[in-house]
C-alpha cells in the first residue's frame, strides 16, 4: 500500500509540473495540447458517461485563449436547458470545493448532439488553470453533469514564450539560364495560324454567407423565441448572414432583400457560404415581458432579488464607459439550479426612450448566497438631464422561482457633460 501511494504522488506531481511549468517554457500555438489528451479522462458527474451529455472540446490539459468554441452534447428527453460554468483549480490541480462556479455559457434550451454548445470568452477570465462543467437540467429529476479538467487559460503568455505563426511558403524562383551572345538571324515570318479558341472561365463559387429557409420561418427582434416577430422568410427564400449571436446559441443575424435586419433560428434554415469572417454580435436585451413559459414543476424553491445598484462613476459622464455593479441574491429556501441573465437599460426620463443597454450573467446561487455582477455601459446622449438605469434579474426567465415579481430595481442619475 505504501509503495502504491508513493507512485500515485509521483504521478500527480508530474502532472502538476506538466500543466503548471511546461506551458511556460514550451508554449505552442492555440490548438496544440501540452501533452496527449488521450492520457486523461473527461469525467462525467452524477450519471454514467454517455453520448448524450458530454464535453468533447477542449480536451483536458489544453491551453486556450480568446474566443473558445466549446463542443459536446446536451440531448436528453424532457431537457429543460443546459449551461456551462468554470471554476479555478487548487495549486495542486485538485478541485476547489469552496470555489464559486462562474458562467461561461448562459442557459440554452435547444438540444445539441456532438456540435457547438457555445463560445467562452476567456479574455474576461484571469490566466490560470480551471475545470469546466456542463450542467443539463431535466424536468422533474436531478441535473446531469459532465466535466473537463484541467484546462489552462493563457491570454497573456510570458515574454520569453514565442507563439509560433505560420509562415507562407513562397514558390522557388526559376533559375535563369545564362545569356550568350549569338549572331542576329532574320527568320522568315511564321505561317498564319488560326486564332486559339476562346476559353470560358469557370463559374466562381459563391462564398457569401447566407441562409435558405426550410419552411415559412419567423425573423425576430432577438436571438430567442421570446422576442417579437419582425418579418418572415417563405420556404426557399434566401437572406444574407451579417452576424452570429455572441451568446453561443447559434442564431443568425440576417439582412432580407427588403432591407429588414433580424434574427433567425438555425433549426429552420440551411446555411451556405464562408462563415469565417462573420462577426459575433451581442443581441438586444430580452424583453421585460417575455412570453410565458409552459408550466413546469419547479425543481427548487429559489427566489432571486436585486440587493443594490452602485456606479463606479457617480454621476456617469457623457460618452465615457462606466461600470454598474449589481448585487444579486437568492433569498429562497432552495438552490437556483441554473445560471441566469441580468439585463440593464438606460432610459432618458423626459422622453422615456432607451439610450443604452447591456447584459451579464450570474452563477447558480445557493440559499442566502449573494453575487455581484459588473456591467459596462456607455451613454452619449442627453447630458445634464435625468436618466434612469433599470435592472432586471433572470430577464430570460431561466430560473424557476417562488416569486417572479421581485426581480426589478432602478437607479436615477444626471448624466454629466464631460467632453460631449
> Which tens digits make up the pLDDT trace of 52-88?
878 888 888 889 999 999 999 998 888 889 999 999 9
CB 280 within 8 A of CB 246: yes
Residue 192 has pLDDT above 70, yes or no: no
Mean pLDDT lowest among 181-195, 253-267, 357-371:
181-195
Instruction: Kindly state whether residues 106 and 31 are assigned to the same domain.
Output: yes
| pLDDT recorded at residue 141 | 84
The answer to whether residue 191 is domain-embedded is: no
Angle at 167 between CA 161 and CA 171, to 5 degrees: 160
Domain boundary residue, one of 130, 153, 176 = 153
In this structure, what CATH number is given to the domain that contains residue 346? 2.60.40.10
What is the pLDDT, as a whole number, of residue 49?
54
Residue 72 lies in a domain: yes
- The residue-averaged pLDDT of 22-42 equals 34
What are the backbone dihedrals phi and psi of residue 253, each rounded to the nearest 5 degrees, phi first?
-90, 120
Is 394 a residue whose pLDDT tops 50? yes
- What is the residue range of 8's domain? 2-153
54 and 7 share a domain? yes
For the segment 168-176, the average pLDDT, to the nearest whole number, is 56
**pLDDT value at position 11?**
32
Q: The domain that contains 96 carries what CATH number?
A: 2.60.40
Instruction: Compute the average pLDDT of residues 315-321.
Output: 94
Given a cut of 60, is residue 142 above it in pLDDT? yes
User: Which class for 316: exposed (0-12), middle (13-18), buried (19 or more C-beta within 10 A)?
Assistant: buried
Q: Do 36 and 144 have their domain in common?
A: yes
Is residue 197 domain-resident?
no
300 — pLDDT class (breaks 50, 70, 90): low
Work out the end-to-end distance of the chain between its first and last CA atoms, rounded to an integer number of angstroms: 73
Is there a domain that residue 348 lies in? yes
**Calpha distance 412→315 (Å, rounded):** 10
310 in a structural domain: yes
- Supply the pLDDT for residue 52: 80
CATH value at residue 267? 2.30.30.40
Does 128 score more than 90 pLDDT?
yes
Whether residue 299 is contained in a domain is answered as: no
**Are 319 and 259 in a shared domain?**
no
Residues 274 and 324 in one domain: no
pLDDT band with cut points at 50, 70 and 90 for residue 167: low
CB atoms within 10 A of CB 77: 8
The mean predicted confidence, pLDDT, of the chain is: 80
In a domain, 78, yes or no: yes
Residue 325 shares a structural domain with residue 266? no
The reply to whether 9 and 65 lie within a common domain is yes
Please state the domain count of the chain: 3
Q: What are phi and psi of 296, to 5 degrees?
A: -120, 155
Please tell me whether residues 263 and 335 are part of one structural domain. no
Model confidence pLDDT, tens digit, residues 93-119: 999 998 889 999 989 988 899 899 999
Residues 101, 17, single domain; the answer is yes
**Same-domain pairing of 143 and 253:** no
The reply to whether 117 and 82 lie within a common domain is yes
Query: 217-266 pLDDT, tens per residue?
Result: 899 999 998 898 888 888 889 999 999 998 888 899 999 988 899 999 99
Residue 420 pLDDT = 87
Q: What's residue 293's pLDDT?
A: 53
Examine the fold and report which residue of 249, 281, 313 is the final residue of a domain before the chain moves on.
281
- On the 0-12 / 13-18 / 19+ scale of CB atoms within 10 A, 263 is buried
Mean pLDDT, rounded, for 291-305: 65
In this structure, the answer to whether residues 254 and 397 fall within a common structural domain is no
Confidence (pLDDT) at 104? 92
In a domain, 173, yes or no: no
* pLDDT for the residue numbered 3: 38
Domain boundary among 153, 169, 189: 153
Query: What 3-state DSSP class applies to 4?
Result: helix
As a whole number, mean pLDDT of residues 160-171 equals 62
Amino acid at each position: 500500500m505504501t509503495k502504491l501511494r508513493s507512485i500515485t504522488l509521483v504521478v500527480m506531481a508530474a502532472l502538476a509540473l506538466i500543466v503548471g511549468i511546461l506551458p511556460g517554457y514550451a508554449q505552442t500555438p492555440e490548438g496544440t495540447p501540452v501533452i496527449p489528451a488521450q492520457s486523461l479522462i473527461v469525467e462525467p458527474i452524477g450519471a454514467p458517461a454517455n453520448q448524450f451529455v458530454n464535453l468533447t472540446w477542449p480536451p483536458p490539459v489544453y491551453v486556450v485563449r480568446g474566443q473558445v468554441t466549446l463542443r459536446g452534447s446536451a440531448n436528453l428527453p424532457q431537457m429543460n436547458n443546459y449551461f456551462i460554468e468554470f471554476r479555478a483549480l487548487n495549486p495542486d490541480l485538485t478541485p476547489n470545493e469552496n470555489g464559486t462556479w462562474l458562467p461561461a455559457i448562459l442557459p440554452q434550451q435547444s438540444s445539441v448532439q456532438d456540435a457547438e454548445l457555445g463560445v467562452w470568452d476567456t479574455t474576461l477570465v484571469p490566466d490560470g488553470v480551471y475545470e469546466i462543467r456542463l450542467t443539463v437540467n431535466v424536468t422533474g429529476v436531478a441535473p446531469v453533469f459532465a466535466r473537463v479538467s484541467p484546462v489552462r487559460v493563457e491570454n497573456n503568455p510570458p515574454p520569453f514564450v514565442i507563439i509560433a505563426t505560420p509562415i507562407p511558403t513562397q514558390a522557388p524562383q526559376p533559375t535563369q539560364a545564362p545569356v550568350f551572345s549569338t549572331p542576329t538571324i532574320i527568320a522568315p515570318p511564321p505561317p498564319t495560324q488560326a486564332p486559339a479558341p476562346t476559353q470560358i472561365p469557370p463559374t466562381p463559387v459563391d462564398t457569401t454567407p447566407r441562409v435558405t429557409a426550410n419552411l415559412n420561418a419567423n425573423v425576430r427582434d432577438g436571438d430567442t423565441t421570446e422576442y417579437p416577430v419582425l418579418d418572415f422568410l417563405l420556404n426557399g427564400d434566401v437572406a444574407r448572414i451579417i452576424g452570429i449571436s455572441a451568446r453561443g446559441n447559434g442564431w443568425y443575424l440576417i439582412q432580407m432583400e427588403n432591407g429588414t435586419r433580424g434574427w433567425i433560428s438555425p433549426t429552420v434554415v440551411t446555411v451556405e457560404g464562408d462563415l469565417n469572417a462573420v462577426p459575433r454580435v451581442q443581441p438586444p436585451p430580452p424583453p421585460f415581458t417575455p412570453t410565458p413559459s409552459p408550466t413546469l414543476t419547479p425543481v427548487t424553491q429559489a427566489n432571486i432579488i436585486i440587493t443594490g445598484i452602485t456606479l463606479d462613476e457617480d454621476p456617469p459622464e457623457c460618452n465615457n464607459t462606466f461600470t454598474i455593479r449589481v448585487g444579486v441574491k437568492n433569498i429562497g429556501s432552495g438552490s437556483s439550479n441554473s445560471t441566469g441573465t441580468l439585463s440593464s437599460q438606460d432610459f432618458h426620463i423626459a422622453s422615456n426612450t432607451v439610450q443604452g443597454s447591456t447584459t451579464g450573467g450570474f452563477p447558480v446561487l445557493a440559499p442566502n448566497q449573494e453575487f455581484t455582477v459588473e456591467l459596462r455601459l456607455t451613454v452619449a446622449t442627453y447630458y445634464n438631464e435625468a436618466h434612469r438605469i433599470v435592472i432586471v434579474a433572470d430577464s430570460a426567465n431561466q430560473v424557476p422561482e417562488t416569486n417572479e415579481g421581485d426581480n426589478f430595481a432602478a437607479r436615477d442619475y444626471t448624466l454629466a457633460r464631460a467632453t460631449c
